[in-house]
A and B are shown apart, each in its own frame.
Chain A
Amino acid sequence: DIQMTQSPSSLSASVGDRVTITCRASQSLINYLNWYQQKPGKAPNLLIYAASSLQSGVPSRFSGSGSGTDFTLTISSLEPEDFATYYCQQSYLTPWTFGQGTKVEIK
């Protein structure tokens, strides 16, 4: 299985901060990497697909970059509704696998 490692596991930030989350894969994914946001009690919600494509309806403050084994999710200016847990997911090979999550908390 492809292992997905996110860092950090959690972070504290303030509204307006720029936030960066990293995801590293155990082998090259080319660009088969997706990012999801999950709020408590809710299902994950797709933010970014194919490493850098913004899902329809997702605010432009979210962006993704990277290729191969190293990927980044950036929130350019944190809004109150962005406090949540973020997951990366590889769709290069089955079994598809997820990172362990990064919890973004209010400082």
Chain B
Amino acid sequence: QVQLRESGPGLVKPSETLSLTCTVSGGSIGSHYWSWIRQTPGKGLEWIGYIYYTGNTNYNPSLESRVTISLDTSKNHFSLQLTSVTAADTAVYYCARRVRNPGSYDDYFDSWGQGTLVTVSS
């Protein structure tokens, strides 16, 4: 059973860069798609982007100019960087595994980290 765990600072200053890491255990990062999703009381659940194990990425256009997702297969983890943060980026950030079975309608997030609260404040 794959497990994911987010780590990183819980407090980031406005205009700085938010950096989080998701460590994957119980399975290899060398397959599947790996996503970041955030949740706020106001906007609900918002998909940020994903990275495929090949390094291909896909970002939400609403955040694309500020987001970078990368992965390190040697450490079995992937990371999120969000630049120029504001209070609107205060959220619980989740990492998740996307499962996709070509030729079917199976395309879903089956494993999630426990989430980490990131607050943007000076």
Which B residues contact A (CB, under 8 angstroms)? 44-47, 58, 60-62, 94, 96, 104-110, 112-115
Q: How far is the CB of A52 from chain B (nearest CB, A)?
A: 9
Complex contact B104–A50 (CB within 8 A) = yes
Q: Does any Cβ of B come within 8 Å of A19's Cβ?
A: no
Interface residue count for A (Cβ, 8 Å)? 26
Closest A residue by C-beta to B110:
A46
Cβ of A97: which chain B residues have Cβ within 8 Å of it?
Answer: 47
Known: A44-B45, A98-B44, A98-B47. 5 other contacts (CB 8 A): A34-B109, A43-B114, A44-B94, A91-B107, A94-B47
Complex contact A31–B47 (CB within 8 A) = no
Cβ of A10: which chain B residues have Cβ within 8 Å of it?
Answer: none
Chain A interface, DSSP helix/strand/loop, else mixed:
loop
Cβ of A73: which chain B residues have Cβ within 8 Å of it?
Answer: none
Q: How far is the CB of B59 from chain A (nearest CB, A)?
A: 8
Cβ of B107: which chain A residues have Cβ within 8 Å of it?
Answer: 32, 34, 49-50, 91
Q: Which of B104, B110, B112, B114 contacts A55 (CB 8 A)?
A: B110
Complex contact A43–B105 (CB within 8 A) = no
What number of residue pairs across chains A and B have CB atoms under 8 A from each other? 61
Q: Which of A32, A49, A55, A94 contacts B60 (CB 8 A)?
A: A94
Which A residues contact B (CB, under 8 angstroms)? 30-32, 34, 36, 42-46, 49-51, 53, 55, 87, 89, 91, 94-101
Q: How far is the CB of A63 from chain B (nearest CB, A)?
A: 16
Q: Which of B60, B61, B112 contacts A44 (CB 8 A)?
A: B112
Cβ of A49: which chain B residues have Cβ within 8 Å of it?
Answer: 105-108, 110
Complex contact A98–B105 (CB within 8 A) = no
12 contacts between A and B (CB under 8 A): A34-B108, A34-B109, A45-B112, A49-B106, A49-B107, A49-B110, A50-B104, A91-B107, A95-B47, A96-B47, A100-B44, A101-B45
Cβ of A31: which chain B residues have Cβ within 8 Å of it?
Answer: 105
Bound state CA distance, A34 and B45, in angstroms?
14
Q: Which of A43, A91, A94, A95 contacts B108 (CB 8 A)?
A: A91
Q: Which of B58, B106, B109, B113 contacts A94 (CB 8 A)?
A: B58
